Chains A and B, each alone.
Chain A
Amino acid sequence: MTVTPKAAGRLALLGLLGGIFQLTTVSQVAIFGVPADLSPLLVASVGFLTGSISGAIFGFSLGLFVDTVLMQTLGVNSLVLTAVGYGAGRVRELRDPAHTLAPVIVGAAATAAATVGFSLLQFLLGVDAPVSFSLLRAILMTVVLNTLLALPVYAVCRRVLLPYLPDDPRRRRRRAYTTGGLSPLSRA
């Protein structure tokens, strides 16, 4: 996807509103004992829809925003979400999955990578917290919860970015059989 200024504006608005919604609402509601984390879902959805470069930039920006607003160590979320956005974009560019549930799998994988990566970085930074059963349980429950939310979040992101997106993957897949073409993201 070619990121025009208008598309960039929409992405920024999506990140800002998504981040605020996460911080003011989602983080304060615990289901299964843990709150959902929309950040990796947003980043993965954007990466999956727009490609690895914009996914990585979006992830970096959203991570920086979260770290800044929450007065956390700057760079931790940026680093993790950059990797998540880049990875989700590369999945789209390399595999171009057309299955309806592909965003769910990508969302679950992104959440798992983000939570595990964030925990690893915290340990590397010397945060004194033992690897306990409750930590592993929290990570697992966050992944489960985010998996349930992956499709709605993806739908919202797609709706917001729809005017700037290339063809629908399923239509493109049908065309790829006849033309042998790759994903438009790869051709771009």
Chain B
Amino acid sequence: MSDKVVRRRRAVLAVLVLFSLFLLTAYFGESSGGSLHSVQRGAMEVFAPIQEGANRALKPFRDLFGWFGDTLDAKDEKERLEAERNALRRQVVDVTLENRQLRQIEGLQEQNTERGLDGYDPVQARVIARSPSSWFQSFQINKGTSDGVRVDQPVVNDAGLVGKVKEVSDGNAVIMLLTDPEFGVSAQALESGEPGSVGPAVGDAGDLRFELVPNAKEVRRGERIVTAGTSTSAEVSELSSLYPRGILIGTVSRIETGEGELDRVIHVEPVADLRSLDLVEVLTQPDANVRAQAP
């Protein structure tokens, strides 16, 4: 390659670069009414109709390319919105759980205040595990002896009686539900005042029976059953019970009549939803000289 060609090439490049720099400098140095700006405006005026025509003529191409672009963007947008939706769903679940927990805490506090359970030194606990078997009506909580929890202490939730402490370790405790076959509590029909004993219905895990009632015919369907606070079911005596008086157990759901009065079977539906327990309270001073007030 001859020197002449190289020199020519370099000269062209130098001229173009210098001219570009000159344009840059001059353009920056002049005001908006300067000659270069005027040339630009003039060129823009000349090319504007061409651009407008081309803009219209090429609109189908633009739309076609735009469709591809929009489709790609739509896919991105879809993925983004799906991620956002999933995040919001998780948020809703969290908020719902939080709301449910807060309502339970509020219910427990309200119950403590209104029914006088404060005196029993209630300890709030969270259900951390429960038996999947219907034969073992129990669950585990995250409070134990270090929190003052002892065996046989009553357990309530914001609705009413749940059960009692069956086993306890330093930091955990196992709660026996009132539907457990081994459970029993002296009770009283709230409206009629009839005493009796509430225990599980054999063969029906979610059902309770109000038994040993002296005048069973006095008990009506829908009547509320509360703890009697006494140790015998024959009559409401002054002997203390494991359970404070007046804790709601359930409502009479149906009454089966037999041939005689003794054949009458009173079914009680627990007020506490035993299948979805989350927060409960252990009454750690059940023998305190305080009585729960009947609801």
- Spell out A's residues near B (CB within 8 Å): 20-21, 23-26, 28-33, 52-53, 56-57, 60, 63-64, 67-69, 71, 73-76, 78-79, 82-83, 86, 125, 182, 186-188
Contact = CB atoms under 8 A, between A and B. Distances in A.
A25 B26 CA distance: 31
B9 to A, nearest CB: 5
B70 to A, nearest CB: 9
A125 B28 contact: yes
Contacts of B239: none
Given A24-B58, A32-B72, 20 more contacts: A28-B66, A29-B62, A31-B68, A31-B69, A53-B8, A56-B12, A56-B16, A57-B12, A64-B23, A68-B40, A73-B24, A73-B27, A73-B28, A74-B36, A74-B40, A75-B19, A78-B19, A78-B23, A79-B20, A125-B24
Contacts of A188: 5
The 5 closest A-B pairs by CB, nearest first: A75-B23, A75-B24, A79-B20, A29-B65, A78-B20
Contacts of A53: 8-9, 12-13
Nearest to A79: B20
Given A31-B68, A74-B23, A74-B24, A82 B16 contact: yes
Contacts of B12: 53, 56-57
Contact of A60 (B16, B28, B50, B61): B16
A56 B51 contact: no
Given A29-B66, A74-B36, A186-B1, A60 B54 contact: no
Interface in B1-56: 1, 5, 8-9, 12-13, 16-17, 19-28, 36, 39-41, 43-44, 47, 50-51, 54-55
A63 B20 CA distance: 10
Contacts of A60: 16, 19-20
A68 B39 contact: yes
B13 A69 contact: no
Contact of A79 (B17, B28, B55): B17
Nearest to B22: A75
A71 to B, nearest CB: 5
Given A21-B58, A82-B17, A68 B43 contact: yes
A182 B73 CA distance: 48
Interface of B: 1, 5, 8-9, 12-13, 16-17, 19-28, 36, 39-41, 43-44, 47, 50-51, 54-55, 58, 61-62, 65-66, 68-69, 72-73
B42 to A, nearest CB: 9
A121 to B, nearest CB: 8
25 contacts: A20-B51, A24-B54, A25-B55, A29-B62, A29-B69, A52-B13, A53-B8, A53-B13, A63-B20, A67-B40, A68-B40, A68-B43, A69-B47, A71-B41, A73-B28, A74-B24, A75-B20, A75-B23, A76-B24, A78-B23, A79-B17, A79-B20, A79-B21, A82-B16, A82-B17
Contacts of B55: 24-25
B43 A69 contact: yes
B13 A86 contact: yes
A75 B18 CA distance: 10
A69 B21 contact: no
Contact of B50 (A20, A26, A79): A20
A23 B47 CA distance: 11
Nearest to A27: B62
A124 B43 CA distance: 27
